[in-house]
A and B are shown apart, each in its own frame.
Chain A
Amino acid sequence: MSRADVRAETEGAAPGRGGTRSPSPLWSLGLLRSELLTTFRRWRTLALLAVLAAVPVLVGIAVRIETGDGSSLGGGGGGGEGPAFISQISNNGLFLVFTALAATLPFFLPMAVGVVAGDAIAGEASAGTLRYLLVAPAGRTRLLLTKYATVIAFCLAATLVVAVSALAVGALLFPVGDLITISGTRIGYAEGLGRALLIALVVAASLVGVAALGLFVSTLTGSGIAAMATTVGLLITVQILDQIPQLDALQPYFFSHYWLSFADLMREPVYWDDLVKNLGLQALYAAVFGSAAWARFTTRDITA
């Protein structure tokens, strides 16, 4: 289904952006398909996805061992340590999905996206394959859009890998059934699953900003490693700056600031303010760094 989404997006974006020679939409689909296949067949990509899939397994087993004797996690008065929702896992396996996403979103997921996005253009340049890609009558704009679509497909795939792995581990190790929202109301398992899917989509959308940033960095350099390191470095820097209270005037504009707002989907009724801010911010980052990447990539001399 990820491919279908992406397909719709490229089709929407392609008209009007074409060059003097505008190949048929089917042709860009071919380009996209080959890009997706190249990306998802890479050992590096598969290893990243495997690491992401392992996180919920580790969390699940740890919680299972901790609560195996019937005691509740966190024990007495304190509680509330560790990733969000962790205290509810032992009562309902579905909460492992939320905990796993909350645990991977600050670092693992954006790091994986940063690696793939940073590699998108710079990797081709350092491997010397970029000029061959441009020899094909695709146009640079179209190639960039295809690359970005591939990175976004990876965002979605990575998030779904975490969610599905957590869902499976949660169902295996813990009871499932009706769940309690964080507002204390009860919702059915089917609606809980629906919300889990919605949360996975919101988490994937939260990564769109990092993806655009990584793509822009990728157009700046001819070295894939440098682009990946810069993107991940920027990510860590922003995460640190987001913790400094003196910068609270700037923090609402950091791409990671509203990331954990996905938890608001578990309130009853859902609290939309921060979710909307998050999605708007990601769209803004995508627009600014996407167009910056376009400006850079379409004007730069390709020497490799």
Chain B
Amino acid sequence: MAPIDSDDNTTAGEGEELRAGRRKAARYVVPVAVMGVAAATIGLVPALADSGDPDLPKITAQQLIEKIATSDVEQMSGTVRINTDLGLPDLGGLESGLLSGMSAGPGSGGDGEGSAADPSAKLTELVSGSHTLRVAADGPDRQKLSLLENAAEYSLVHNGEDVWGYDSKSNEVYHSTAPADEGRPGRGTPDKDVPATPKDFAEQALKAVDDTTSVTVRGTAQVAGRDAYRLVVEPKQDGSTVSAITVAVDAETGLPLKFTLTPASGGAAVVDVGFTQVSFAKPDASTFDFTPPEGAKVTESDTGAKAPEHGRPAGGDLAGELEGLKVIGEGWNSIATFDTGARGGLPTGSPGGDLGGLGGFLGSFGDQVKGDFGSGTVFKTRLVNALITDDGKVYAGAVTKDALVKAADAAR
């Protein structure tokens, strides 16, 4: 180990040189070993930390659903990780531009309605990619939802009558009032259009439960350090693109902690929303205090209802605007169908508004199909498929391509 001696090779004999050479090589073992230990730690620690599934008393699916329904967690805070992989082509900036374009409407960019702090514009971003959220709630009147971004944050604070949206990146504030008599907004996400917490997702999923669905309790899991039951919701029919929905329900409080939607095509979950950290202690009262910072641009909403009206994601308006929207089938295999009236395949004046100009562009993503109904184009995502026939009819649903073609044939 005497470093100063290592250049005394002028006197070294041949054997010594060989030994010195070996000693030199041995030193390089150190960085390699450090790297090996690091790699092993990165690989093994999550595996070791996974201490197996907790032992919990048996519970029936019915009891568990009741537990979720009666769950009354008033005070909690935590960090939620949302991953959505709808299998849409990765359009990068175009995608987010599209989303904000659709939700912010024509007013965006001007100094009128298009505030960067508008909740509906902001929460639409959750539809794709990975996001980290923080939620805090203290009773029905005080909630906070923060969307953590790179070196910025979007906060939505509901405190009593006020709903504040604050976008730190653009330093803009959005303010609306939620009248007390109008009923309380959803817990955790005031004034929301998009579900954000595992609970929101679980409620949506359980709404769909009927006799086309099997609901079972399948084992237990650890989520965010808490013991939870795994509630598995599966479609009984064939032809759905949904393989299963798994909801991890906190054994103690009945709060859904994790929501996973796996597609029938296999692979990563389409939607994966779960707490990475959760606490049921009362959040600090200062969490819900908000006063607009000096110099921030404040956009006032005239009424609580105005913002969602102009900024609802295209899906909501679509159903309302189109006449003749019909639903074929039931349960998981429901297919929505409508006639755009536009002959010649891809509608150019598409109801999506901004999507219209992209018609031809989107066409390149579709598969051509033929059947008794004629021919058309199927657009596939990992969850929702849509068939647009050449005579302008649209069939869409969370079903496979074959099911869409069958539905189109039957409608003929």
If A19-B2, A77-B110, A80-B116 touch, whether A295 touches B28 (CB-CB below 8 Å) is: yes
* A-contacting residues, B128-185, CB 8 Å: 132, 134, 146, 148, 150-153, 155, 157, 164, 166-172
A264 CA to B116 CA in the complex, in Å? 21
If A76-B110, A77-B115, A301-B9 touch, whether A263 touches B151 (CB-CB below 8 Å) is: yes
Q: Does B48 reach chain A (CB closer than 8 Å)?
A: no
Contact B170 A299 (CB under 8 A): no
Contact A79 B27 (CB under 8 A): no
Tally of contact residues, A, Cβ under 8 A: 52
If A74-B170, A182-B152, A184-B157 touch, whether A245 touches B90 (CB-CB below 8 Å) is: yes
Whole-angstrom distance from the CB of A206 to the nearest CB of chain B? 14
Whole-angstrom distance from the CB of B90 to the nearest CB of chain A? 7
Q: Does A141 reach chain B (CB closer than 8 Å)?
A: yes
Tally of contact residues, B, Cβ under 8 A: 56
Contact A85 B151 (CB under 8 A): yes
Contact A19 B4 (CB under 8 A): yes
Contact B31 A134 (CB under 8 A): no
Q: Does A255 reach chain B (CB closer than 8 Å)?
A: no
Contact A139 B168 (CB under 8 A): no
- Closest residue to B28 on the A side, CB-wise? A295
Residues of A within 8 A of B341 (CB): none
Cross-interface CB contact of B24 among A78, A134, A299, cutoff 8 Å: A299
Contact A139 B3 (CB under 8 A): yes
Contact A288 B35 (CB under 8 A): yes
Binds A, one of B53-61, B198-206, B288-296: B288-296
A88 CA to B289 CA in the complex, in Å? 19
A19 CA to B6 CA in the complex, in Å? 11
Contact A87 B31 (CB under 8 A): no
Whole-angstrom distance from the CB of B101 to the nearest CB of chain A? 11
Contact flags B28-69 to A (C-beta < 8 A → 1, else 0): 101100110010000000000000000000000000000000
- B interface residues (Cβ-Cβ under 8 A, vs A): 1-7, 9, 23-24, 27-28, 30-31, 34-35, 38, 79, 90, 92, 104, 108-111, 114-116, 132, 134, 146, 148, 150-153, 155, 157, 164, 166-172, 286-287, 289-291, 293-297
- A interface residues (Cβ-Cβ under 8 A, vs B): 19-21, 72, 74, 76-80, 84-85, 87-88, 90-92, 102, 134, 137-143, 180, 182-186, 245, 260, 263-264, 267-268, 271, 284, 287-289, 291-292, 294-296, 298-299, 301-302
Q: List 21 A-B contacts (CB under 8 A).
A: A72-B171, A76-B114, A77-B104, A77-B109, A77-B170, A78-B109, A79-B116, A79-B167, A79-B170, A80-B152, A80-B170, A84-B150, A91-B294, A92-B294, A139-B3, A183-B168, A184-B293, A267-B153, A271-B134, A298-B27, A299-B24
